[in-house]
Each structure stands twice: as C-alpha cells, then as structure tokens.
Amino acid sequence: MISCPCCSDLLLPHIRGSEVHWFCRHCWQDMPVFQKENTGSFVELIVSKLSSTFETKETVTTDNQSLVISH
C-alpha cells in the first residue's frame, strides 16, 4: 500500500501509455514515482535537495553583539 506524500491518503495506481502513475483522490493530483534509491520520506528528500542550495549561517554572540557567519 502506497500513501500520498502530501496527505497520507491511499494512492491509486493507473496506467497511462506504457507507464504506471500514482493518483491521489484526496489531492486530485498525480504523484511522482520514486525509485528504490529514494527510500526516505518525501519530506527528507525535499529537505536534502533544498538544503544543498542554501548557505549555512551561524550566529555567534560575544559581549552583547551578534555576528552572522555564512559558510
């Protein structure tokens, strides 16, 4: 049983051409088909993709002053 990454409702398989697609009746959307190498959750996948595109910032506070350092 495969659940929707957005609402956790049951996804229904359907065939379009020669490919299998997954459809959520609650969201009324086709959902992506994940390959076996994407075994983590949908949220973990998106966070890992987005976090690699943003700079890491660190805030250091010394003597009542804050300094933001970008990595």
Question: In terms of residue numbers, what domain contains 20?
Answer: 1-34
69 found inside a domain = no
63 found inside a domain = no
Q: Who wins on pLDDT, 59 or 11?
A: 11
In angstroms, how far is the first alpha carbon of the chain from the final one? 42
- Burial of 11 per CB tally in 10 Å (0-12, 13-18, 19+): buried
The answer to whether the beta carbons of residues 42 and 55 sit under 8 Å apart is: no
Model confidence over 38-47: pLDDT tens digits?
456 666 766 7
Model confidence over 3-34: pLDDT tens digits?
888 888 888 888 877 777 888 999 998 887 66
51 found inside a domain = no
60 found inside a domain = no
pLDDT for 20: 79
67 found inside a domain = no
Residue 54 has pLDDT above 70, yes or no: no
52 found inside a domain = no
Number of domain units in the chain? 1
27 found inside a domain = yes
